[in-house]
């Protein structure tokens, strides 16, 4: 079987881990990496990450000319850079390359651009692309409908240095119609990678759905999961949450 060809935008802390996940998985070939800085220009991401083969030649934004995506074709482009990365890959979308963006926050203008790409190709945008968080989000919304009288609270725990409230936790709160000020509790201690818990309290029972991150590689696994799902799907805008919701629908147990 031919391997799925991948390009990655972003080679920071998370970008490197994402590249490694693709390098580790035989289903994929990492063709190139685009990064902001000029460091390691034309070197191979694979070598920098300790592999003994050449893969993922490193480019910078300025290298992306008219024919970049035609000369170095990929099946999917994963963006873990920043909100401006999007301005560089219009042609990729036009060429039908699947776009997966895990950027934390876009301005409206950027979001509109991303949506315009969705007319030509499959575009997935999710700030948190891990399987687990999206499973939690979908399950929580269903549970809220099943037990509408349950009181719901969200607890998120992260390392001391994380200043802002978890965007993921805010998104969960919004999806459940919960006021963030009142029902979202943030714990900041030590080196906790990330933990989200949704508590459903009923008079005689308590249900807890929790997700603990062990490493950033979960983002890479989420991207891999998404690419596999998007293969053969019609152009359009997707999110991890809609994919997971669809998978819930397909997998409800039959008795």
Q: Phi and psi (nearest 5°) for 190?
A: 50, -130
For the segment 62-101, give every residue that binds its own copies (CB under 8 A).
none
Among the options 158, 183, 196, 211, which is catalytic?
158
Task: Tally Cβ neighbours within 10 Å of residue 68.
Answer: 18
- Dihedral angle sign, alpha carbons of residues 104, 112, 97, 40: negative
For its own copies, the closer of residues 25 and 63 by Cβ is 25
- Pick 76 or 209: Cβ nearer its own copies: 209
Query: Toward its own copies, which CB reaches closer, 31 or 138?
Result: 138
Q: How far is CA 196 from CA 6, 211, 213, 252, in A?
A: 30, 5, 9, 24
Which region, judged by CB under 8 A, interacts with its own copies, from 2-10, 70-78, 96-104, 214-222? 214-222
Closest to its own copies by CB, 67 or 146 = 146
Query: Which string of b and e fits 139-171 if b means at least 16 CB within 10 Å?
Result: ebbebbeeeeebebebbbbbeeeeeebbebbbb
Minimum distance, C-beta of residue 234 to its own copies, in the bound complex (Å): 16
Answer yes or no: 158 catalytic: yes
Residues that bind its own copies (CB under 8 A): 130-132, 135-136, 138-139, 141-143, 145-147, 150-153, 155, 157, 159-160, 175, 185, 187-193, 199-218, 221, 239, 241-242, 244-245, 247-255
């Amino acid at each position: 079987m031919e391997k799925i060809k991948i390009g990655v935008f972003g080679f920071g802390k998370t970008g490197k881990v994402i590249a490694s996940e693709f390098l580790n998985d035989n289903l994929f070939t990492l063709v190139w990496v685009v990064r902001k800085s000029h460091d390691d220009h034309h070197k191979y991401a694979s070598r920098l990450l300790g592999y003994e083969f050449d893969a993922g030649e490193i480019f910078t934004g300025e290298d992306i000319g008219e024919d970049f995506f035609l000369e170095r074709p990929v099946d999917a482009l994963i963006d873990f850079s920043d909100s401006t990365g999007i301005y560089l890959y219009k042609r990729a979308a036009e060429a039908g390359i699947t776009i997966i963006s895990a950027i934390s926050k876009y301005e409206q203008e950027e979001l509109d651009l991303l949506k315009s790409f969705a007319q030509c190709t499959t575009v997935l945008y999710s700030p948190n692309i891990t399987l687990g968080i999206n499973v939690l989000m979908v399950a929580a919304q269903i549970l809220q409908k099943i037990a509408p009288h349950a009181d719901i609270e969200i607890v998120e725990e992260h390392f001391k240095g994380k200043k802002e409230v978890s965007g993921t936790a805010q998104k969960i709160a919004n999806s459940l119609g919960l006021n963030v000020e009142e029902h979202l509790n943030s714990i900041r201690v030590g080196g906790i990678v990330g933990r989200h818990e949704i508590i459903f309290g009923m008079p005689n029972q308590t249900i807890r759905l929790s997700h603990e991150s062990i490493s950033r590689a979960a983002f890479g696994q989420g991207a891999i999961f998404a690419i596999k799902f998007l293969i053969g799907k019609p152009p359009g805008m997707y999110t991890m949450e809609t994919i997971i919701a669809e998978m819930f629908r397909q997998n409800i147990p039959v008795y």
